[in-house]
A and B are shown apart, each in its own frame.
Chain A
């Protein structure tokens, strides 16, 4: 289906683990400045799909990708993966701040780890800006130079979001970012996601249906590696075209 202002467009995308085909001929466009939820039963390829979008998938031994993935009309499979990953950030299932770094250093990791030197004021500005966007600034502004590992799970996850935002990505991929968190922390992250879509396009994997309903504008539904349904969330949820989507939404399989 056509969407207004697509930022990502895949054409006949297939992803493999060795001989196993995890993503089968997916053609889809993802709209800019919207939240797109990627849903489907476990093992349906939803995580694999978003890991193709920042070329993390191909790092696994035996993994490969065929087809095309356009990011604003550039095929990212032709680009340097490092450039792609600077433009497409990612937040993972479990919070993973770098344990050897302070909160401040963690936010700047996208610069420090690349050996990019920043002026003191610029660094401070980036850190404050990213932490504010991630709604973490007020909680950590007095402990910026302590290790991030003492923070709660939800705070750690927001720190990881700040880390991803600090390099100003165009797209933020989120792989079940709340599955390791308690309900209160989950709610905070959900509110954050809705706010963030003004700055960045978000693609979020979730198998929490109410969550997808609360936060997403579009929903892509995967089943056994195939994209079987894509459209505005309200439409997909109320009036699914594919019987398998309906079965999933009504809880026939998980």
Chain B
């Protein structure tokens, strides 16, 4: 049993060591987030110093004369994201109700499976498809209604974003709708409510905050989505005036200009846009988290 005693002698120390190691990796996750934030602040410092708050509300983006204002991209991101959300939400909600309440499991399960797989398709592939199929379609439509026929632009970007976030929003909403207790629904039916009345007055109110959290999470995705938007938005760094305009979002301007920026201030200005994007998405995600916590408490 010598062997055993040798083995056991150091176990208490190893125990403490392992605990420390695991804890250190947990703390590392916190440090990574802090590190991301400080890196963004540090790298964008030349731009913050040069332009101050003006960066947020001026519209000139001029890499030649090194004058940078981010408002066009803020506007571009907000317009594309909210437009996409507005386009996707009704369909996502209808899809979630259909899959969660109306369709028999034989239909709902395989369809949900396919939807979740679609949510996993890389965004660059959505971008490729949009570039070669959606853009000509939009151009045709623009010619019909007399808008400038670029094909590319804010509207196309919003459209592809809507298609991309739809599967995600739908599966979140469906999961929430499935959680509505069967006996609540049966209570409504037994009072003589129709299917729609049950959905309208029992299912949706019960699932409301969960659906809301899903929409906010989808918004978070849309705000940060880069590739598909970059490929179809037209890469124009000026204030957009209509939804048919060529434009840039915060993410797409970084993707387009980062490797080409030769001046420090230009690079710093791009990083500052990244910093803004980081702050916005963190806030949006924390809001979604709060909504979810509230749901659980209830």
**Does A116 reach chain B (CB closer than 8 Å)?**
yes
Expressed in whole angstroms, the Cα–Cα distance for A32 and B12 within the complex equals 30
> Is the Cβ of A83 less than 8 Å from the Cβ of B7?
no
With a cutoff of 8 Å between Cβ atoms, the chain B residues found around residue A86 in the complex are: 4, 8
With a cutoff of 8 Å between Cβ atoms, the chain A residues found around residue B8 in the complex are: 80, 82-83, 86, 114
> Is the Cβ of B12 less than 8 Å from the Cβ of A116?
no
> Is the Cβ of A115 less than 8 Å from the Cβ of B7?
yes
Of A80, A114, A115, the contact of B12 (CB 8 Å cutoff): A80
**Does B11 reach chain A (CB closer than 8 Å)?**
yes
Give B10 Cβ to nearest chain A Cβ, in Å: 11
A118 closest partner in B (C-beta): B3
A168 closest partner in B (C-beta): B1
Expressed in whole angstroms, the Cα–Cα distance for A232 and B90 within the complex equals 76
User: How many residues from A make CB contacts under 8 Å with B?
Assistant: 7
> Is the Cβ of A82 less than 8 Å from the Cβ of B11?
yes
With a cutoff of 8 Å between Cβ atoms, the chain A residues found around residue B4 in the complex are: 86, 114, 116
Expressed in whole angstroms, the Cα–Cα distance for A83 and B8 within the complex equals 8
Give B4 Cβ to nearest chain A Cβ, in Å: 7
Expressed in whole angstroms, the Cα–Cα distance for A115 and B9 within the complex equals 13
Q: Which residues in window 113-134 of A have CB below 8 A to B?
A: 114-116
Give B16 Cβ to nearest chain A Cβ, in Å: 13
B5 closest partner in A (C-beta): A83
Give A78 Cβ to nearest chain B Cβ, in Å: 14
Residue from A80, A82, A86 having most chain B Cβ neighbours under 10 A: A82
Expressed in whole angstroms, the Cα–Cα distance for A86 and B3 within the complex equals 14
> Is the Cβ of A116 less than 8 Å from the Cβ of B3?
yes
With a cutoff of 8 Å between Cβ atoms, the chain B residues found around residue A80 in the complex are: 8, 11-12
Q: Which residues in window 1-49 of B have CB below 8 A to A?
A: 3-4, 7-8, 11-12
With a cutoff of 8 Å between Cβ atoms, the chain B residues found around residue A114 in the complex are: 4, 7-8
Expressed in whole angstroms, the Cα–Cα distance for A4 and B12 within the complex equals 36
Give A189 Cβ to nearest chain B Cβ, in Å: 29
With a cutoff of 8 Å between Cβ atoms, the chain B residues found around residue A115 in the complex are: 7
Give B234 Cβ to nearest chain A Cβ, in Å: 56
Expressed in whole angstroms, the Cα–Cα distance for A116 and B8 within the complex equals 10
Q: Which residues in window 67-95 of A have CB below 8 A to B?
A: 80, 82-83, 86
Give B258 Cβ to nearest chain A Cβ, in Å: 47
Expressed in whole angstroms, the Cα–Cα distance for A129 and B8 within the complex equals 24
With a cutoff of 8 Å between Cβ atoms, the chain A residues found around residue B12 in the complex are: 80, 82
With a cutoff of 8 Å between Cβ atoms, the chain B residues found around residue A83 in the complex are: 8
Q: Which residues in window 195-228 of A have CB below 8 A to B?
A: none
Expressed in whole angstroms, the Cα–Cα distance for A82 and B8 within the complex equals 8
With a cutoff of 8 Å between Cβ atoms, the chain A residues found around residue B11 in the complex are: 80, 82
Give A63 Cβ to nearest chain B Cβ, in Å: 18
Expressed in whole angstroms, the Cα–Cα distance for A83 and B7 within the complex equals 11
Expressed in whole angstroms, the Cα–Cα distance for A222 and B4 within the complex equals 37
B8 closest partner in A (C-beta): A82
Give A230 Cβ to nearest chain B Cβ, in Å: 33
Expressed in whole angstroms, the Cα–Cα distance for A83 and B4 within the complex equals 10
Expressed in whole angstroms, the Cα–Cα distance for A24 and B7 within the complex equals 36
Expressed in whole angstroms, the Cα–Cα distance for A45 and B212 within the complex equals 48
A117 closest partner in B (C-beta): B3
Give A87 Cβ to nearest chain B Cβ, in Å: 11
Expressed in whole angstroms, the Cα–Cα distance for A114 and B8 within the complex equals 8
Give A77 Cβ to nearest chain B Cβ, in Å: 15
Residues 158-188 of A, flagged 1 when their CB comes within 8 A of B and 0 if not, give 0000000000000000000000000000000
Expressed in whole angstroms, the Cα–Cα distance for A16 and B8 within the complex equals 28
Expressed in whole angstroms, the Cα–Cα distance for A243 and B206 within the complex equals 55
B15 closest partner in A (C-beta): A82
Expressed in whole angstroms, the Cα–Cα distance for A67 and B6 within the complex equals 30
Expressed in whole angstroms, the Cα–Cα distance for A82 and B12 within the complex equals 9
Expressed in whole angstroms, the Cα–Cα distance for A80 and B15 within the complex equals 13
Expressed in whole angstroms, the Cα–Cα distance for A83 and B9 within the complex equals 10
Give A61 Cβ to nearest chain B Cβ, in Å: 14
Give B2 Cβ to nearest chain A Cβ, in Å: 12
Other than the given A82-B12, A86-B4, 4 more pairs (CB < 8 A) read A80-B12, A86-B8, A114-B8, A115-B7
Q: A residues within 8 Å of B by Cβ? A: 80, 82-83, 86, 114-116
16 residue pairs from A and B, CB less than 8 Å apart: A80-B8, A80-B11, A80-B12, A82-B8, A82-B11, A82-B12, A83-B8, A86-B4, A86-B8, A114-B4, A114-B7, A114-B8, A115-B7, A116-B3, A116-B4, A116-B7
Across the A-B interface, the 10 shortest Cβ-Cβ residue pairs? A82-B8, A82-B11, A114-B7, A116-B7, A83-B8, A116-B4, A116-B3, A115-B7, A80-B8, A80-B12
Q: B residues within 8 Å of A by Cβ? A: 3-4, 7-8, 11-12
